[in-house]
Structure 1
């Protein structure tokens, strides 16, 4: 990372990296993503609007492994986080054009889920960064662009509605990030951002890789224990504390650690039943 890049990154919370993938790479990765999309479509696993948001990018598509340490992007990751890093979250995205109006939903967020309630500093720590590789042309607004508020990574809160389905003004200073096929966007996970709707005639396609420090992963190895007969006697809270999968039917595997589904988290249910969830303390809110 150059001194000029670092200054812009620390000021704005993101960098647009032009042309990090050449034409052959764009064509190869785009064809691979098309293949996965067709497989998921045949299996009936697309969203009702025909979109795909598939977690565990390399597990789903091993040939994209070269993107996780690409020589034109990965140096930015270790320049910011250091050498003790891993990919802790990734996804493949395909969003066809929207042919009919969608119900309104306020989607502005910071990455990391409950990190943004459970960490108490202001601003909260960076913890992770993310690389978005664009395989479709989002060089004009309205194509499902990444939308951000530059500099908002140093802000813990933005104004929002009481419910996500209540119409609300866009955050001041919000901009749609434009990029050509082969460009990448590198951003701080604290940056307030959203995905915009794709009103173009093009299908929006991208691959996303998030990096964090390796100590954010559980150190204990309990898979064999949890699969053994002795684990049948463990309480739900004990299984949660030992790292057992908690996601319920129809929910995204792996999503449970981020706390998006409190009803599948045993300790949340136990505290709720005992009236111990203090709404005035963010880490205890659902």
Structure 2
């Protein structure tokens, strides 16, 4: 099976070709077994605190769980984000998702804004949300709460047919992502995707970080938590949007985040 797997670290010319062609790529072995364990335990705590009954998505877990916070600027992923966006972007949100054991198929969608869908901005749909999904439970075969995507659909001028979306039907060109825990899926907001069914006896957890242009509003918070901002690193503060804006709206730019400090 075709699989857009790339290596961790620098964003290469081949990475760019794969991303522009498919709209996503996968990186294996990003997290150590200890990192996976710590992040999985943190995810369970986040959802227990939120009272998630079944399928659920909880934001801002990075504020209380240092293991999840550490994924925000993970050394295997951040060079890819910089390669795609350049050096000026923010963490628009951080969502931790849980799909319960024996969970059902999710619905087909593109990521965006319910207030003003991104496909209303231009064609092709612009990259406004770049998602890095850290797999915290095993998804090595279909039916483990995998992500299912349609390769190249971020470039399609035609929408996914309503007859498919309404019945949540299958397509002959969709791709179920099969990868072990500790892998990361990076994808463009305009790629059509859905959560695949989960037939196992354990809950599936994924930590998603969404990176956006600096002028986008955060989507998991109205403001940054002051205690978190005081204790986190200078780079993470910058990624959370803590920078001086010399002119509105960004006419004079702003200081590049301290990536190399």
The TM-score bracket by the shorter chain reads 0.7 to 0.9
* Separation in 2, partners of 1:111, 1:148: 12
Q: 1:51 to 1:125 in 2, by over 3 A?
A: closer
Stretches (4+) displaced over 6 A: none
Among 140, 160, 170, the alignment partner of 1:158 is 160
TM-fit CA distance, 1:117? 4.4
Aligned to 1:57: 61
SS in 2 for 1:88: strand
Aligned to 1:184: 184
Aligned to 2:214: 214
* Separation in 2, partners of 1:77, 1:57: 21
* Separation in 2, partners of 1:168, 1:32: 32
1:21-100 superposed matches below 5 A: 21-40=31-50, 45-47=51-53, 50-59=54-63, 61-98=65-102
1:1-286 superposed matches below 5 A: 1-40=11-50, 45-47=51-53, 50-59=54-63, 61-98=65-102, 107-113=107-113, 114-119=116-121, 121-156=122-157, 157-161=159-163, 166-217=166-217
Indicate if the aligned counterparts of 1:85 and 1:211 stay in contact, CA closer than 8 A: yes
Indicate if the aligned counterparts of 2:119 and 2:125 stay in contact, CA closer than 8 A: no
TM-fit CA distance, 1:172? 3.4
Task: Note the alpha carbon deviations across 1:146-173, whole angstroms, 9 max, x for none.
Answer: 00001111124111239x6x42532330
* Separation in 1, partners of 2:18, 2:102: 34
RMSD: 2.3
Indicate if the aligned counterparts of 1:158 and 1:171 stay in contact, CA closer than 8 A: no
Indicate if the aligned counterparts of 1:56 and 1:91 stay in contact, CA closer than 8 A: yes
Indicate if the aligned counterparts of 1:143 and 1:202 stay in contact, CA closer than 8 A: no
Indicate if the aligned counterparts of 1:160 and 1:168 stay in contact, CA closer than 8 A: no
Which structure shows the higher helix fraction? 1
* Separation in 2, partners of 1:72, 1:208: 15
Aligned length: 207
Q: 1:167 to 1:217 in 2, by over 3 A?
A: closer
Structure 2: gaps of 5 or more residues: 1-10, 224-261
TM-score, normalised via structure 1 length: 0.67
TM-score, normalised via structure 2 length: 0.73
Larger gyration radius, structure 1 or structure 2: 1
